[in-house]
Structure 1
Amino acid sequence: MASTPGLRALDVLGIAVTLHPYSYDANADRIGMAAAEALGLDPKLTLKCLMVEVDGKPACCVIPSDGQLSMKRVAAAFGGKAAAMMPPAKAEKLTGYHVGGISPFGQKRQVPTAFEAGACAAPKVWINAGARGLLLGIMPADALRATSGKAAALLA
């Protein structure tokens, strides 16, 4: 199984995860939803990692695959006035991951991270492990600890 910066970062922290490979479809309209379907997982617990800019500063939002960000809520979660999606090329350069495989763990540069609060109540969630076609299962409390993240209302 491929080792990614995200998996190595979690290993250093002693955080146990389960690995869930699947057949990645680069042409899927909604990659997170395609991953949930391929693995038979609940889309509300299969989280996607979205890179944003809040008042021009990078941040990471982790939300359910079937959800959509509220930029107003994102800005508020990070104490800013305005938020926007980060352009894909910039997200890839900042994180060291390719779009479709961006993980909140082991990014080249750690940025403030927020997880959708509703998903943090689940016993386990699935998040990209840092490679297209590979999710990891993790307890939300461990995901928050690994990213120094916080739970916030992020959905539209």
Structure 2
Amino acid sequence: MTPAIDALKKAKVEFTIHEYHHEPGCDSYGLEAAEKLGLQLEQVFKTLVVQLDGKQLVVAIIPVASKLSMKLIAKAANAKKAVMANADDVQRSTGYKLGGVSPIAQKKALKTYIDISAENHPQIYVSGGQRGLDIELAPEQLQQMTKAQVSPLTSELKS
């Protein structure tokens, strides 16, 4: 089990584990999860770690087919600037490998923001803490487990 699954069990949160075979050459982990599990892209969320104003790390949870707006995450966090965090910093801070970063039970509890679109679904899917493992749970449960703030975080992707 992963720290995320252990934490959910301990908190007696209702959730479902979904496993799939991760292809090592795949570089879009969230899209791979949606495809392999036969899910709508809007319901599968990716966990991104960003650095604010060159210092603080925060977590953004957004739909896998969406692009994180650095302006919107900075605004939500009352920061001037946001950039994607360095991969080594992400792994050191969360305790999870890239592609398997769960928003739940990270080594260091980071301030977390969930895209407002999560509220459109009774259940959403997030990483369970390793590649090939997703957790299905209610957005309210995720918000409670991560003490997250719900905010608009994405800019529309141009086709």
Identical-residue share of aligned pairs (%): 32
Does the residue aligned with 2:41 lie in a helix, a strand or coil? coil
1:52 equivalent among 50, 57, 72: 50
Does the residue aligned with 1:115 lie in a helix, a strand or coil? strand
Runs of 4+ in 1 over 4 A off after TM superposition: none
Most deviating of 67-76 and 24-33: 24-33
1:1-156 residue pairs with structure 2 within 5 A?
3-55=1-53, 56-156=55-155
Q: Distance in 1 between matches of 2:149 and 2:37?
A: 27
Shift of 1:78: 0.8
Unmatched tracts of structure 2, length 5 or more:
none
Q: Distance in 1 between matches of 2:111 and 2:31?
A: 25
Q: Distance in 2 between matches of 1:36 and 1:29?
A: 13
Shift of 1:31: 1.4
Cα offsets for 1:55-86 (capped at 9, x unmatched): 22010000000000000001001111100000
Q: Distance in 1 between matches of 2:127 and 2:115?
A: 15
Does the residue aligned with 1:44 lie in a helix, a strand or coil? helix
Counterpart AA for 1:122: H
> Normalization by structure 1: what TM-score?
0.96
Unmatched tracts of structure 1, length 5 or more:
none
> Normalization by structure 2: what TM-score?
0.94
